[in-house]
A = this chain, B = another copy of it.
């Protein structure tokens, strides 16, 4: 049983797109995994530049590129007919195609026929692998930090990626673990947790952070929100399967209600901490909150520092905007928490 696995390096396919907001996937890949992005391919009319060498599919193949990643979204999530010639050519040359759009690659006959010929894979990161297991609750080796949120879209993926980056800079043995489609493209592996059949949700979450060495940290992308009227069960299954040692609450400053569910007030950060511990204790009795990651983009620049300081004083934990100042103080808190559990453990 396996997670989705992508083959690097990548050619980022940008179609005829001209708007950077529609190319978040490609831009995110370049931001977080520049070393894996070896080229970009614009079709006629497209002028987006991610700062990568322009390459045809044949040039990409010659340069050793393994996968063509669709880096743009279209309205409605379709795959336009004018893309098919290029995608088919790539598949016939043996490049995997990676997509997270609504239309399934496997529903496009020319691509499945080409893949059958060349052996290349059509990888839809929104489709979980088959035969996922039921969660066992077995305690795994290694350490885990999970992002949880006061809501969806508060920066859980961004925080996890920044924490992985900061941990690595500090010499930690850490890996970002992706639970959503964009994260999977960036990580090159993962599972789209919200697309898993409910019976196998915590089992899928267990696969995402397998047994590891004692010093290894899985930095797990969160999903949904534990007080979310639509997605709380996704959050719970991921929490139970992740059996986190510690967690970070992600929040957007100024948000007052669940986005899109305006009858539901946002839970407080304290409520999220309390509920996450209450549920997570089932699989990890030591589960502890180590900090709050806040998207402060709605605040004025001169309000940010005071907001974070006040929050930190209220919660009694490091509170950061990862985009402004990184996550080092949260990582230091992890060190402190783990050292207090096991005095022989490493300190930051």
Task: Give the complex CA separation of A274 and B344 in angstroms.
Answer: 38
Q: Which of A46-54, A168-176, A227-235 contacts B (4 or more CB under 8 A)?
A: A227-235
A282 vs chain B, min Cβ distance (A)? 6
Is B261 touching A198 in the complex (CB atoms < 8 A)? Answer: no
Q: Can you list 25 A-B pairs, Cβ within 8 angstroms, ordered by A?
A: A135-B229, A136-B230, A137-B230, A137-B263, A194-B197, A194-B199, A195-B197, A195-B198, A196-B197, A196-B198, A198-B237, A201-B233, A201-B234, A202-B229, A202-B230, A202-B231, A202-B232, A229-B282, A229-B283, A232-B279, A233-B233, A233-B237, A236-B236, A264-B282, A275-B278
Task: Give the complex CA separation of A129 and B193 in angstroms.
Answer: 20
For A275, the chain B residues whose CB sits under 8 A away are 278
Chain A: interface residue total (CB-CB under 8 A): 33
Q: Which of A177-202 contact B (CB under 8 A)?
A: 193-199, 201-202
Is A198 touching B194 in the complex (CB atoms < 8 A)? Answer: yes
Q: Other CB < 8 Å A-B pairs besides A195-B198, A196-B197, 20 of them? A: A135-B231, A136-B229, A137-B230, A137-B264, A195-B199, A196-B198, A198-B233, A199-B230, A201-B234, A202-B231, A203-B230, A229-B282, A232-B237, A232-B240, A232-B279, A233-B234, A233-B237, A236-B236, A264-B282, A278-B278
Q: Among B198, B202, B282, B283, which residue has its beta carbon within 8 angstroms of that of A197?
A: B198
Is A230 touching B198 in the complex (CB atoms < 8 A)? Answer: no
Task: Give the complex CA separation of A202 and B237 in angstroms.
Answer: 13
A253 vs chain B, min Cβ distance (A)? 23
Is A233 touching B240 in the complex (CB atoms < 8 A)? Answer: yes
Task: Give the complex CA separation of A264 and B285 in angstroms.
Answer: 12
Please, which residue of chain B has its CB at the minimum distance from the CB of A194?
B199
For A36, the chain B residues whose CB sits under 8 A away are none
Task: Give the complex CA separation of A138 and B263 in angstroms.
Answer: 8
* A→B interface (CB under 8 Å): 134-138, 193-199, 201-203, 227, 229-234, 236-237, 240, 261, 263-264, 275, 278-279, 282-283
For A234, the chain B residues whose CB sits under 8 A away are 198-199, 201, 233
Task: Give the complex CA separation of A203 and B233 in angstroms.
Answer: 11
A206 vs chain B, min Cβ distance (A)? 10
Task: Give the complex CA separation of A279 and B276 in angstroms.
Answer: 12
For A202, the chain B residues whose CB sits under 8 A away are 229-233
Chain B CB count within 10 A is highest, among A230, A237, A263, A275, for A230
